[in-house]
Amino acid sequence: MKDEDVERQTLNVNPCSGILQSLVCDPQPATPKSVAVFVVGIATLIVLWLPPLPFSIQLPQMWLDALGALGVFKSGDLKALRWDYFIVPLLVVYALWITWKTRPGNNHLGRGDPSLAESHVPRGFLHESGLTGANFWGAIKLLALPTLLGAVFLLGFGACCHSIEITPRFWKRFLLNSAIFQQMVIQLFFHRQLMPWFGAGRKTAWILTIFFAALHAPNPGLMLGTLIGMYFWARCYQRQPNLYALAISQALLSALLMHTMPKWMLPSVSVGSRFVEKVWFVQ
């Protein structure tokens, strides 16, 4: 009888429990399906290729300096208005609203025990989204080898092309504020919104990678950098979600990319119509 119980328990072992869950099993998505990810994705691709507006405005110098400090354009240099100055901020606001609306556990708000919803949902959302310190070292371990291989590839490519140029600006690129913001957009919105449609596995990771490579077209250097890092960041987020570990990996690889790629591979950091104007037509 004891042998039968042991055999029955052995057959009922969950293969996705314990350490196997982080190694071979994909977590199930908790976000409901929403077409918002396709709306924002397609709209962003279109906006990046729209030509400038056929008119300009003269802004006060104080406004120009403030916008230049934010990186919208070089201070005092406003040659033409572009659609993305207006549409991209609206898309960001819309994406933030959708992300909060479809957060894990939101369907329990207003039902059952209100105190349970108020105390449990925010913590669960922050934890599952990778905004807390949880999973940091697990994510670092998953990213260590891909990041090292990516760094070796970029340094090797730069050495072959004699284009390695480490300047003081290289170290400034290790600031994580930009990388964290980009990973929030990538993982919290695009990745999490794609999971209900395609699952939380390799298929979604590849779709995310291809989309962001297309988003950086036709810039060959940025497209190559996206293909190197995006898939591994997505797979790491699926297993050990932590945005800070992803930001560290991105900051390192981005800094190396900017200082190892030859000019013919990375003549500019612009994408879409701006890349065409700066690189192909301004010669």
Instruction: Decide if 24 is inside a domain.
Output: no
- The whole-angstrom separation of Cα 252 and Cα 180 is 13
Instruction: Decide if 25 is inside a domain.
Output: no
Instruction: Decide if 150 is inside a domain.
Output: yes
- The whole-angstrom separation of Cα 221 and Cα 228 is 11
Helices (H) and strands (E) in the chain, counts: 14, 0
Instruction: Decide if 18 is inside a domain.
Output: no
Whole-structure pTM value: 0.75
Instruction: Decide if 22 is inside a domain.
Output: no
Determine the straight-line distance between the first and last CA of the chain, rounded to whole angstroms: 84
Q: Domain range holding 248?
A: 36-280
Instruction: Decide if 124 is inside a domain.
Output: yes
Instruction: Decide if 140 is inside a domain.
Output: yes
pLDDT (tens digit per residue) in 40-65: 999 999 998 988 766 566 666 776 67
Domains contained in the chain, number: 1
Instruction: Decide if 16 is inside a domain.
Output: no
Q: What is the pLDDT of residue 76?
A: 46
pLDDT (tens digit per residue) in 12-46: 444 444 433 433 344 444 567 889 999 999 999 99
